[in-house]
Amino acid sequence: MKLKIRYEKRYEVLEVNSEEMWVTFSLEDGQDLTQEEKENRIQDAFEKEFNRPDYNNWHNFDRHRGNLKKQFRKDDQEPDTSDGMATVADNSQEEKLSQQYEYEELCQKLREVLKPEYAEVIIAVCLEDKTPEEYAVERGEKRDTVYKRLQRAKKKYKEIL
């Protein structure tokens, strides 16, 4: 018997033993049926058991993916002049959160490995893109002190890596 199996959006045909399939699906009352009727009942049972749920699950999950068609409108509404980009997901907040988590994780690692004064100067100058002069004014320290502390911090960090 040839059994049609749905694979993604199309059917594949597979040659199987009809008697084994009859037992597999626990179909009853098959003594007075013709071979063709048995095959039809097996195919129907297979459709119900395997083909429809897989397709429906896939369809429910993917039906809007990549679909930039303009949305349906009623006759009394203005025509839609958008480019369809309103239907595309906006992941900018997730990206910002991800970057924030990475930044915080890196700061935490620096604080664990280095002394607090070294970690803070590296975070301010290297990660937050402040100049050593800005950091010195902010902390009320001399510029040369900040430069020397930054050099020491970079040297310590390279030793650790």
Q: DSSP of 55-86, one letter per residue? A: HHHHHHHHTTTT--PPPP--TTSPPP-S-SGG
What does the mean pLDDT of the chain come to?
81
In terms of Cβ atoms closer than 10 Å to its own Cβ (0-12, 13-18, 19+), residue 146 is buried
Please tell me whether residue 46 adopts helix, strand or coil conformation.
Answer: helix
pLDDT > 70? residue 68 = no
Beta bridge pairs of residue 7 = 10
C-alpha to C-alpha distance for 134 and 140, rounded to whole angstroms:
10
Rg (CA), the chain: 33
Please tell me whether residue 135 adopts helix, strand or coil conformation.
Answer: helix
Say what the pLDDT of residue 90 is: 75
pLDDT > 60? residue 54 = no
C-alpha to C-alpha distance for 52 and 39, rounded to whole angstroms:
18
- Tokens representing 48 are 């119900």
pLDDT > 60? residue 67 = no
* pTM, entire model: 0.44
Mean pLDDT value across residues 105-119: 92
pLDDT > 80? residue 105 = yes
Say what the pLDDT of residue 73 is: 60
Q: Could you give the percent of the chain with pLDDT greater than 90? A: 35
- Tens of pLDDT along 82-102? 666 666 677 888 889 999 999
C-alpha to C-alpha distance for 85 and 87, rounded to whole angstroms:
5
Say what the pLDDT of residue 33 is: 81
Mean pLDDT value across residues 6-18: 80
Higher pLDDT, 36 or 48: 36
Structural domains in the chain, sorted by start: 2-62 (no CATH), 92-160 (1.10.10)
Q: Could you give the residue ranges of the DSSP H alpha helices within the chain? A: 18-24, 35-46, 52-62, 92-113, 116-122, 132-139, 143-160
Say what the pLDDT of residue 102 is: 94
First to last CA, the chain: 66
Region of poorest pLDDT, from 8-22, 32-46, 75-89, 111-125: 75-89
